[in-house]
């Protein structure tokens, strides 16, 4: 099975890092943000890609699991609010969120590009409640494949995805959501200027260039979404100072806009087209 993971290139390859972050979290002896036995089980058959070592640092591991935990909390709340909730993860990678928090929903869909969905199929089986879609999030035919539910009951997650799209592609996706699923919840994360440095250059070299950078959540205004909640990833990391090494002594940096906006997790409602 190992061959599947090592063949990944470009943006799909990046999901090995976010997957490993959850595996390492699962194995923390004390103070883990969550346990994830399913991803730990799958990981036994996946070869780590050592070219990713320079990007996989304790601080990035913390950020990825803090981010995963923030998405978990909203998914859990959404499913508790709607008995017939439908959840779609765009760019799901090897997300095991369905197993962590999703089993109470009506239907959970993990969507990713064919090479990643094929890898998922090595470990995971589709059921009526848990389905996979193998296509680009920008090929909007996936919207026809969702089961019926009032669109307010739909939660669309894009974790670690939109920064790899151009702003025009993000806007096209939002426009389609507005046409098809007004009042759905759309949750995603964005990166700011502080993420443009070494890491961005390295991702570019890897064939996974980030394209969409925001100044702050104000850049979302006018895109057709109503913001319900914004969480700064850097500020959220400071809830775990013992995991920040030397950075723990300078918590005030998380208040500076440059760092505060380095990574934002944003929960929104999709505005109906009629609202302008
Ligand atoms: C950084 S990974 C994040 C994976 C997962 N969401 C997580 O947090 O573990 C980015 C994911 O986006 C997927 N991806 C890239 N372009 C995509 C597209 N156009 N449509 C759907 N998925 C895409 C990649 O294959 C990869 O799995």
Mapped onto helix, strand or coil, the DSSP state of residue 229 is: strand
- Which pLDDT score is estimated for 33? 97
Nearest CA to ligand 1 atom 27: 93
Ligand 1 close to Cβ of residue 137 (< 6 A): yes
Name the residue of 15, 22, 39 to mutate for ligand 1: max ligand atoms within 8 A of Cβ: 15
Output the six-digit token pair for 238: 């400071």
Ligand 1 close to Cβ of residue 139 (< 6 A): no
Q: Indicate whether 275 pLDDT > 80.
A: no
pLDDT tens, position by position, 18-52: 999 999 999 999 999 999 999 999 999 998 999 89
Ligand 1 close to Cβ of residue 18 (< 6 A): yes
Mapped onto helix, strand or coil, the DSSP state of residue 270 is: strand
114: CB partners within 8 A, 6+ apart: 134, 135
Ligand 1 close to Cβ of residue 102 (< 6 A): no
Helix (H), strand (E) counts: the chain: 10, 8
What does the pLDDT average to over 155-177? Answer: 98
What does the pLDDT average to over 129-152? Answer: 97
pLDDT tens, position by position, 235-274: 999 999 999 888 888 888 888 998 999 999 999 999 999 8
Domains detected in the chain: 58-275 (3.40.50.150)
Q: How far apart are CA 173 and CA 176, in angstroms?
A: 5
- Which pLDDT score is estimated for 6? 61
* Residue 262 near residue 237, CB atoms below 8 Å: no
Average per-residue pLDDT in the chain?
94
């Amino acid at each position: 099975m190992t061959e599947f993971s090592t063949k990944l290139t470009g943006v799909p390859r990046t999901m090995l890092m976010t997957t490993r972050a959850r595996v390492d979290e699962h194995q923390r002896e004390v103070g883990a943000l969550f346990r994830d036995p399913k991803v730990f089980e799958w990981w036994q058959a996946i070869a780590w890609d050592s070219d990713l070592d320079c990007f996989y640092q304790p601080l990035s591991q913390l950020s990825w699991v803090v981010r995963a935990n923030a998405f978990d909390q909203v998914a859990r709340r959404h499913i508790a609010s709607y008995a017939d909730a439908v959840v779609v993860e765009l760019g799901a990678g090897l997300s095991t969120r369905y197993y962590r928090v999703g089993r109470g929903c009506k239907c959970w869909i993990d969507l990713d590009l064919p090479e990643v969905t094929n890898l998922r199929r090595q470990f995971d089986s589709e059921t009526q409640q848990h389905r996979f879609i193998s296509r680009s999030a920008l090929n909007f035919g996936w919207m026809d494949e969702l089961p019926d539910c009032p669109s307010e009951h739909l939660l669309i997650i894009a974790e670690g995805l939109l920064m790899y799209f151009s702003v025009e592609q993000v806007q096209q996706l939002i426009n389609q959501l507005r046409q098809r699923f007004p009042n759905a919840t759309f949750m995603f994360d964005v990166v700011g200027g502080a993420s443009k440095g070494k890491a961005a250059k390295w991702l570019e070299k890897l064939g996974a260039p980030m394209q969409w950078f925001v100044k702050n959540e104000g850049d979302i205004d006018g895109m057709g979404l109503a913001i319900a909640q914004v969480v700064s990833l850097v500020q959220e990391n400071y809830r775990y100072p013992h995991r920040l090494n030397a950075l723990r002594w300078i918590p005030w940096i998380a208040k500076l806009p440059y760092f505060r906006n380095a990574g934002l997790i944003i929960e929104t409602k999709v505005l109906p087209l009629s609202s302008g």
